[in-house]
Structures are given as structure tokens and as C-alpha cells.
Amino acid sequence: MSQSRQAPDAPSVAAQEPPLAGLARDPKVFSYRNPAGGWGALKSVGKHLWHSRSPLLNARSLFKLNQPDGFDCPGCAWGDPEHGSSFEFCENGVKAVTWEATAKRVTREFFARHSVSELKTWDDYQLEDQGRLVEPMRYNAETDHYEPITWEAALDLVAQELKALPTPDDAIFYTSGKAANESAYIFQLLARRFGTNNLPDCSNMCHEASGVALTAALGTGKGSVRLEDFERAEAIFVFGQNPGTNHPRMLGVLREAAERGATIVSFNPLKERGLEKFADPQKPMEMLHNGSHRISTFYFRPKLGGDMAAVRGMAKALFERDAAGEAVLDHAFLAAHTAHLEAYRVRVEATEWADLEAQSGLSVREMREAAELYARSRATIACWAMGITQHVHSVATVREIVNLLMLCGNLGKPGAGTSPVRGHSNVQGDRTMGIFEKPADALLDALEAYYQCPMPRHHGVDSVAAVKAMRDQPGKVFIGLAGNFTRAISDSGVTEQAMANCALTAFISTKLNRSHLITGREALILPCLGRSEIDRNAAGQAQLITVEDSMSMVHGSAGINRPADKALRSEVAILTGIAERLFGDDDSVAWATLREDYDRIREHIAAVIPGFDDFNTRVREPRGFWLANPVARREFDTASGQAEFSDDALPAEVMHQRLAAREGWITLQTMRSHDQYNTTVYGYDDRYRGIENGRRVIFLNQEDIARLGFAAGQWVDLIGESEDGVTRRADGFKIVAYDTPAGCAAAYYPETNPLIPLDHKGEQSHTPASKSVAVRLAASARLA
Ligand SMILES: Nc1nc2c(c(=O)[nH]1)N[C@H]1C(S)=C(S)[C@@H](COP(=O)(O)OP(=O)(O)OC[C@H]3O[C@@H](n4cnc5c(=O)[nH]c(N)nc54)[C@H](O)[C@@H]3O)O[C@H]1N2
Ligand SMILES: Nc1nc2c(c(=O)[nH]1)N[C@H]1C(S)=C(S)[C@@H](COP(=O)(O)OP(=O)(O)OC[C@H]3O[C@@H](n4cnc5c(=O)[nH]c(N)nc54)[C@H](O)[C@@H]3O)O[C@H]1N2
Ligand SMILES: [Mo]
């Protein structure tokens, strides 16, 4: 056992965490009255181009973004139109590109100047803002500095540490959704060839609940709609998502839908600017007149974790109307394509309106109104994101959304279906490539048949289980393909101690982040090419990579910029380099040949992964190809062969109900500001929410501020639950009075991750429940 558990009164594990620099800022609050997008977005683009110190290079990069001959935007996973050119303006896509194509570099001199202990006091913004990593570095515990190491020695060290492990299951292979299909395929092959399914990924912290719920209900874990369905939908419901910041290109689609008269309905405790009003920076006339379009025709504001109850309330209203003889349900669809409707109806009828109101925070009238909007539409899409998937009862909530869609036949017809809007640009593709700790036998069979070697059958660890394993059994090897695992996952204090227990931590990264600073006995930074850069093989030929978006479109991506440094290697080169050292030259996988020509990797993918026949030809078509989704044909690969209703009971109480009785406690959601990409912080502003020059703020309902005995503008420390003996706190947050439902607070992630116990996670999904965290506030020693 490691020393991760502490007595409640011991010094807090998180006390070491708050980055001093971020703490010193004094955030300002202002009132943002303009629509989302618009001039503010253009101004911000200019600022970020300039800050990258290579504005011209970056301006050129932007014109190749999401073009058939360019590279895939490293921002979100929203789809591209299949036809025509699509230079889609997206402020946050610009930030993602310029952040990668910066002229700044993190050199060996930088690491000589700054010890790791010193860098640990820097905040996330400062670390990444140093620029691109350029050469492999190894941590020297004696000097407390990272020092240069050759690629050969670095890869030797990884292989040596892996070979020294007692069992293959002592290795953990983490993937962030930035990784392209080719790297992801090689990574899972490396892990499995090594003998483990320990392939946790960022999906475990993200849309896992969607995958679990959709697979159980419909037989496939992916969304069923394509981009053109948004052109035909009569209603679009957006649950728990902030597209204005996180999927800005989706706003254009919503706005077009609104213009042609579709009903747009949002469910969000916060009034997100992007969902209310949007001015398109690509429509100059509109901007000149400062016009903007209302996006959400209707806006419901449930309490945190209240969506399952809200949707059930809608279903209850529909069943009541059906019982009264109104033609609101699609009985033909229900009879032909669904199973277990009666059990569901019984469950819904047994759920009391009073309980639905108490849990959802919506009134019966509002739930009936939402049901009416839904019933009126003949084709409805339901979109959702983290506001739905990061709760304890997220799987049940997603299933309830699917239940609702089924009631009116909104599956497998134009303009209707499920749309879990994914996060990372290739997170969906990574799963398709086999990045999954619980692989299906079919995948393992296919791998065994193709490579003629055995694959491990027992399941591996997901992200939370990986932390527990490292906490409880020191000496593991952790390899991160992209991402910032240590910072992204919950319970930062516990996680940092778990990572420090490792024999080796090695990260394949483009930018410096906190994961690099929490070192195992050995630690390596392995810097790689980014997506915007040209990836050449030994013969000088540029390689193509591929990605899959949220609508299951697979397409190519080719970098156009010169690599940030000639020492950088591609992800595939680094991974195959490790594999060669582990398995030798005459391995059944010819690793070196794969590195030399990614077409060969795609040949392997075509042979092993269903749906990729003729991959190399099809991916070269301008917009790629669609991985057909059987749900779109009303085919359901479930036990019954039908779309299955679930009849889960409502949770007895969700967090806001539990905390109502605990004096001084409040439910906190941890979310993204407009100036961040997950743990990558581009700046200290959150324009649409009216915050400037700081991230350590807590948004609270005015009445809660008074009830808790504080005042707006006051500094507080946030204290989390400690029933398991771990003290959890994050210090120094400024109170901002905000329009959020009573009992529901909000603050930015990752600064709030120290507050979330590892075990506070989704049932079945094991996703940290980062949208319903119990916290209490204490006056802070930090004075204004
Ligand atoms: N610019 C930018 N783009 C991104 C990212 C980024 O960080 N920056 N991250 C990418 C990734 S990996 C992901 S997963 C996505 C994330 O995209 P989002 O899911 O939009 O991300 P969050 O900021 O976590 O926003 C959660 C939203 O849900 C609402 N919410 C919280 N709890 C509840 C609830 O209980 N019920 C309801 N109805 N709403 C709730 C919040 O008020 C907020 O509007 O974006 C992707 N795109
Ligand atoms: N409290 C709380 N925690 C959360 C969430 C939340 O809403 N609240 N959201 C969760 C979600 S949805 C997600 S997806 C995770 C995100 O978790 P991750 O995906 O692990 O984190 P990122 O912040 O996206 O990773 C950023 C790092 O990726 C590296 N990188 C960037 N581009 C590339 C590339 O092209 N190649 C390589 N090799 N490296 C690259 C850079 O070094 C950068 O520092 O966080 C989760 N954590
Ligand atoms: Mo995500």
C-alpha cells in the first residue's frame, strides 16, 4: 500500500496543488451583452494569432483547416459538411491551431533553468505557453531537472522498464482523443501484443456513459445522425452542452435550423450565451447591423443532475396524453422496433410528479411544455454532452433520452436520432481502432487471426481503476499517448501520489503540462509532431493520417507546416520504436514497415476492423466516407434484436437533494471556460460568462451566497468530501453572483479536480461525476 490515505486532520493532499501563479490573479467580472460569435470572436482570433508569434504561418494554416487537402481541426469532433468547401470560421478552432503552431520552444536550456519543483508551482497556462517541446527529456531526480536524452536511449529505457515488470498488466497505456486512427491502432496493438488490455482513455472521463447506454439500448455505442439530418430535423433538443464554446461550428447548424423554423430546445442550468444568441462572423452584414439570431427557442433550466427526471416528466406527460386518446406516440414504430415498452410505461406511471419536480428542479408545467414541443415535431434529434455524461446516474439518463426518442419513433429516419456530441477530434475514432479496456471478443479474434499470436482476453483498467491500481501497487509503467492524464482525472492529490508510485511515467506530447512534472522513479517526455505538421518518412514522403468525427465520417488529414523541430518524431515512429525494442525484428508484426508507410497500417486496419474495407482508396475521397450505423437502418444489435426501453428507477436522490439537508454544502459542476481546451488553458478570460483575467472563480446563485454567509467578490476555499480519510480542498476562489439554480454552483476544471473523490463516479460508466461534486465553502486566507 502506498501512503495515499491520510487521517482527516493531516495536511491536505491537495494543499501542494494550487498553482501559485494562477492564485495571484484577481479575476474581474463584467456584463457580456453581445451575442456569441460576432466581433468579439474576430477580435479574440487576432489576439491569439499574434500571441502565437507566428501570425502569418498561422493565418495560412487556417485556410487548410478542415479542407479536403488540409488537416483536421484539432479542436472538437463536430462533423464537416460532405459537399463543397467548408472554410468554417471557428474562434476556438483558431485557438487550437495557433496554440500548436506557435513559434515558442521549450528547449534544454529551459529545463536547465527551471527545476521540476519550481515548474510545479506554475499554472496550466504558463506551462503550455512555453511553446512546443522539441527533444526527448529524462528526469534526473538528483538534480530535480529534466535533462536531454537521445531518442535511442529514451526508447531503450521504455522497453527496459516494460520488460522488467512482473506482469504485462503492470503496464498502463493511456490514450487521449487527439491521437489519430493510425497511432491509436498501433498503440492498442502494442499494448495487446505486450499482453494487456490496460487501455484507459479520455473517453472514460467523457462520453463513456453514452457508449454504455447506447450499446445497451440500440446495439451500437455511436450516435445515429449525420450532419444532413440537422437540415431536416423539426426539433433539436440540446441537453447539457455548451456549443458556443466547445462546438462552435454546431452553432451555425443550430442557427440554420432555427432560421428555417425548427424548434431548438436547450436544457442547461446556466444560460449559455451561445445557446441564446449567435452572430455569425462569416456573415458580415449581420455583424455590421449587430444582428444576431436567437438560437434556443426554448430554454429549460434543470438543477444539476436533474435531466433524467426532466425527461421522464416529458415521457409521463406523453403517456398521460396517449391514455387520454391523443395521437402523440408512434405506435407503429413502437410495435415494430422496440422491446420492453410496457415495463417502461409502468415505471413512468409509478413515478410521482412531485418526485420529478423535486429532482429536476423544473415544474410540472415546464415538463409538460417540453413534452408538447417534442410531440409537435415529426423529426427530432437529441444532442447531449458532459452535462449529461458526468453524473453518477449518467447511463440511466442517456437511456431515458433514448426512451423519449423511441416513444415518437425518432430513430432511423431522416432528421431524427441520437447525437452524443463528442469532445476530442478523434476520440470516437480511437475507440473504433480498439482503444478500449473492455474489448469485444470479435476484435481480439480478428487480431489473433491476422497476426497469428494470442491476445489477452481478460479486461483491463479504465481511467479511474488505473489510478487505483497505481495507488495501491507501486512500480507500474504508465505511458500516455497525448493528453494530460494526471491533470484531467479526478482526485488530483490522490492521483499525483499514485503517479509518483510508478516505476516509469512516459508521455508522448506536444506541449509541457503538469503530467510531466509528477514523475515516477523514471520519467520521460517524448515530444511528437502535431497534426498541423508534415509527417515525412525516411524516404521523405509525406504521410497521411485519418480521423473519425462525431457523425462517424472517416477522412484523411495531412499536415502542412514544417515540423516545430527536426528532432521531433511522429507518434507512430515513437510507438513502433518501442515495439521493435520489445518484440525484436522478426516479430509477427512488421513494425518498421508500418512506420515507413501509413498505407500499410491502414491495410492492417482494413483487415481487422469492420467497415474499413478498401480503406486506402476510400479515405482519399475528398470528404472521406461514412461508417454506416445500423440504427440509421432501424437495425438493432441488442439481445432482443429491437430497440430496448430501460425501466430504471429514478435515483432516490441526486447530489443537490442530498446536500439540501447538509448545512453549508452545495453541488458544484466543473466545466470549461471559453479560453481553454480541456487542461490546455489559452487564456484567463471567459468572455460569454463575463469573466476576465482569472480562472479561480466560483459561480453561485445570489440566494446561496447569502444563505452560506458570504458576499459576491469574497475569496473562499473549496473543501470537498473526506469520508474516506482524504482531505480534499482547492484554495482561493472568488465568488461571482450568477444566474444558476439554487444549490447549483459552477467552477472551471481542472483547478477543481482535487475536490472530486476517485470513487465519485458513474454507475456502469465509471466516469468521474464531475458535474455533481459536493463542496463546502470556507472564508479564504487569500484576501482581495
Ligand atoms: N474550445 C473547446 N472545445 C472543446 C473542449 C474544450 O475544452 N474547449 N473540450 C472538448 C471535449 S473533450 C469535450 S468532452 C466537449 C465538452 O463540451 P461540453 O459538454 O459543452 O463541456 P462543459 O464545459 O463541460 O459543459 C457542460 C455544459 O453542461 C451544462 N451542465 C452541467 N451540468 C448539467 C446538468 O446536470 N444538466 C444539464 N442539462 N446541463 C448541465 C453546463 O452548464 C455547461 O453548459 O468539448 C470539446 N470541445
Ligand atoms: N473536473 C473535470 N474533469 C474533467 C472534465 C470535466 O468536465 N471536469 N472533462 C473530462 C474530459 S471530457 C476529457 S476528454 C478529459 C481530457 O483529458 P486529456 O485528453 O488527457 O487532456 P487534454 O487537456 O486534452 O491534453 C492536453 C495535452 O495533450 C497534448 N497534445 C496536444 N496535441 C497533441 C497531439 O497531437 N499529439 C500528442 N501526442 N499530444 C498532444 C499536449 O501535450 C497537451 O498538454 O478531461 C476530463 N476531465
Ligand atoms: Mo471529452
* Measured distance CA(242)–CA(221) in Å, rounded: 22
Whether 386 lines ligand 2, by a CB cut-off of 6 Å, is yes
* Measured distance CA(35)–CA(291) in Å, rounded: 8
What percent of the chain is helix, strand and coil (3-state, nearest 5)? 40, 20, 45
Whether 423 lines ligand 1, by a CB cut-off of 6 Å, is yes
Nearest alpha carbon, ligand 1 atom 18:
241
Nearest alpha carbon, ligand 2 atom 20:
483
Q: For the chain, which domains are there?
A: 21-204+428-626 (3.40.50.740), 209-420 (3.40.228.10), 655-779 (2.40.40.20)
Whether 250 lines ligand 1, by a CB cut-off of 6 Å, is no
CA of 757 to the centre of ligand 2 (A): 19
Whether 677 lines ligand 1, by a CB cut-off of 6 Å, is yes
CA of 358 to the centre of ligand 3 (A): 29
Contacts of 259 (CB under 8 A, 6+ apart): 293
Mean pLDDT by 10 residues, the chain (784 residues): 37 44 81 80 79 72 72 81 54 85 95 97 96 98 98 98 98 97 98 98 98 97 95 97 93 91 96 83 70 82 98 98 98 98 98 98 98 97 98 98 98 97 94 98 98 97 98 98 98 98 98 98 98 93 94 92 96 98 95 96 98 95 90 96 98 97 96 96 95 97 97 97 95 96 98 98 98 97 68
Tracing cell 452542452 back to the chain, one arrives at 241
* Alpha-carbon separation of residue 426 from 76, 201, 228, 542, 548 (angstroms): 8, 12, 20, 21, 6
Whether 772 lines ligand 2, by a CB cut-off of 6 Å, is no
CA of 422 to the centre of ligand 3 (A): 7
Number of the ligand 1 atom closest to the C-alpha atom of 275: 44
Whether 71 lines ligand 2, by a CB cut-off of 6 Å, is no
pLDDT of residue 439: 98
Neighbours of ion ligand 3 (CB under 5 A): 206, 423
Strand partners, 556: 546
Whether 420 lines ligand 1, by a CB cut-off of 6 Å, is no
pTM: 0.95
Nearest alpha carbon, ligand 2 atom 12:
206
* Measured distance CA(686)–CA(177) in Å, rounded: 24
Whether 671 lines ligand 1, by a CB cut-off of 6 Å, is yes
Number of the ligand 1 atom closest to the C-alpha atom of 239: 38
Whether 101 lines ligand 1, by a CB cut-off of 6 Å, is no
pLDDT of residue 277: 80
Angle between helical axes of 341-350 and 307-323 (0-180°, round to 10): 100
Q: What is the largest CA-CA distance in the chain?
A: 78
Number of the ligand 2 atom closest to the C-alpha atom of 424: 14
Whether 749 lines ligand 1, by a CB cut-off of 6 Å, is no
